[in-house]
């Protein structure tokens, strides 16, 4: 066998290793349902490893660093952004997948891609678009649109399913996607508690007493127990889930965060301004496209453009179009018109 033949056999070795070492319930890359557009396989990477790499190298992934998690455009670099949230979800999900002998590459690909379609200003921005757009707007569906159409990553069907189903109300088809669905929830509950304490909005002692007794008030201990609840409850089983008692207290913490942080708290003071930014830009771009686009296409194009913006880019575009300046050197909206040309 030549050196080239040995290199070309690397992917086959990786696929064989998955078959021989992973759980019987794990998703094996050799048996993937494939991509919408067939491609020649890589010599050295499995199909799910390629998905992960394509997501990391995408423009949408890079933009996550300037998109809100909870706190709008935070000055303090220690607050989470949508990118750091994504990385924490990936770390948690990979830890669980490794412990359960699931496919860690697929789990990582889903984790890194799950929020690519998120709007500027976090769920505030998503809420505005959901009100404006006919049929509503949901970031998980937009994430699928990003990888399938806007960036045309041609991912495997298992990866796309996991991205779509990471939110509640969907049923993931693979245990890896189930893992990400859970990891997303326990990641944002824990890091949002930490960020809210840092911001002075809540204190550790404010957390529900029974949740503290069950999980601990300390983030590292609380997060570790949630992860262990999933692993011990799922080991050797076809589905991934948390114990009933653990899920009860996790859900209670989540509901408490909605009541005390996510809705009408000091963390949300600036959201009225953010809502106005999204609305005004939506109306503006709709008018800008009317002379050059079919009316039936305009809403979709504007939605793609605005949902892809970072917080600071949306603010800059608002300033450019609505705040008087002496000399306009702002970036033009070339990508808006590019979207109009490639509309599908």
Is pLDDT of 77 > 90?
no
DSSP letter (8 states) at residue 222? H
Q: What is the pLDDT of residue 50?
A: 98
pLDDT in tens, 224-248: 999 999 999 999 999 999 999 999 9
Q: What is the pLDDT of residue 338?
A: 83
For 49-268, CATH number?
Answer: 1.10.3210.10
Cα separation, 163 vs 172, in Å, equals: 9
Helices 157-164, 47-56: crossing angle, 10 deg rounding: 50
Q: What is the pLDDT of residue 331?
A: 63
**Angle made by CA atoms 239, 107, 23, in degrees to the nearest 5:** 50
Three state DSSP letters for 21-61: HCCCCCCCHHHCCCECCCCCCCCCCCHHHHHHHHHHCCHHH
Here the tokens at position 47 are 């199909």
Residues whose CB is less than 8 angstroms from the CB of residue 161 and which lie 6 or more positions away in sequence, other chains included: 172, 173, 174, 177
Is pLDDT of 328 > 60?
no
Confidence of residue 49 (pLDDT cuts 50, 70, 90): very high
Mean pLDDT score, 129-153:
97
Among 14-18, 77-81, 189-193, name the one with the lowest average pLDDT: 77-81
Secondary structure class of 180 (helix, strand, coil): helix
Q: What is the pLDDT of residue 344?
A: 67
Rounded to the nearest integer, the mean pLDDT of the chain is 93
For residue 35, list its beta bridge partners.
156
The pair phi, psi for residue 143, each rounded to 5°, is -60, -40
Q: Look at the chain and count its residues.
A: 344
Is pLDDT of 192 > 70?
yes
Residues whose CB is less than 8 angstroms from the CB of residue 184 and which lie 6 or more positions away in sequence, other chains included: 89, 111, 114, 166, 167
Confidence of residue 334 (pLDDT cuts 50, 70, 90): confident
Helix (H) or strand (E) holding 231: helix 219-234
DSSP letter (8 states) at residue 259? I
What ranges do the domains of the chain cover?
Answer: 49-268, 271-342
Is pLDDT of 74 > 60?
no
Secondary structure class of 255 (helix, strand, coil): helix
Mean pLDDT score, 143-172:
97
**Cα 315 to Cα 180, 292, 322, distances in angstroms:** 31, 25, 10
pLDDT in tens, 158-180: 999 999 999 989 999 999 999 99
Is pLDDT of 20 > 90?
yes
b/e code 249-269 from CB counts within 10 Å (16+ = b): bbeebbebbeebbbeebebbe
Q: DSSP characters for 88-121?
A: HHHHHHHHHHHHTT--HHHHHHHHHHTTTTPPTT
Q: Count CB atoms within 10 A of the CB of residue 335.
A: 13
């Amino acid at each position: 066998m030549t050196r080239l033949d040995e290199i070309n056999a690397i992917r086959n070795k990786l696929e064989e290793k998955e078959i021989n070492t992973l759980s019987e319930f794990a998703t094996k890359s050799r048996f993937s349902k494939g991509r919408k557009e067939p491609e020649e396989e890589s010599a050295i990477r499995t199909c799910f490893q390629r998905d992960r790499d394509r997501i990391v190298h995408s423009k949408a992934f890079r933009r996550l660093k300037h998109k809100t998690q909870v706190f709008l455009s935070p000055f303090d670099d220690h607050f989470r952004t949508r990118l750091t949230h994504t990385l924490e979800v990936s770390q948690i999900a990979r830890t669980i997948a490794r412990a359960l002998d699931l496919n860690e590459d697929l789990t990582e690909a889903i984790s890194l891609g799950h929020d690519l379609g998120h709007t500027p200003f976090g769920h505030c921005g998503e809420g505005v678009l959901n009100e404006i757009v006919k049929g509503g707007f949901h970031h998980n569906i937009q994430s699928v649109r990003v990888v399938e159409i806007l960036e045309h990553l041609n991912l495997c069907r298992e990866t796309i399913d996991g991205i779509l189903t990471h939110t509640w109300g969907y049923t993931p088809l693979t245990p890896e996607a189930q893992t990400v669905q859970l990891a997303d929830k326990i990641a944002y509950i824990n890091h949002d508690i930490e960020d809210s304490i840092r911001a002075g909005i809540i204190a550790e002692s404010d957390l529900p007493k029974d949740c503290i007794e069950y999980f601990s008030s300390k983030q590292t201990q609380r997060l570790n127990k949630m992860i262990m609840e999933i692993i011990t409850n799922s080991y050797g089983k076809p589905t991934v889930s948390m114990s009933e008692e653990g899920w009860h207290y996790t859900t209670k913490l989540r509901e408490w965060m909605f009541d005390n942080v996510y809705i009408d708290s000091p963390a949300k003071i600036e959201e009225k301004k953010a809502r106005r930014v999204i609305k005004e830009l939506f109306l503006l771009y709709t008018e800008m496209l009317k002379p050059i686009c079919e009316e039936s296409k305009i809403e979709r194009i504007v939605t793609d453009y605005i949902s892809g913006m970072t917080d600071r880019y949306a603010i800059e575009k608002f300033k450019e179009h609505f705040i008087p300046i002496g000399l306009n050197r702002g970036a033009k909206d070339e990508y808006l018109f590019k979207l109009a040309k490639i509309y599908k």
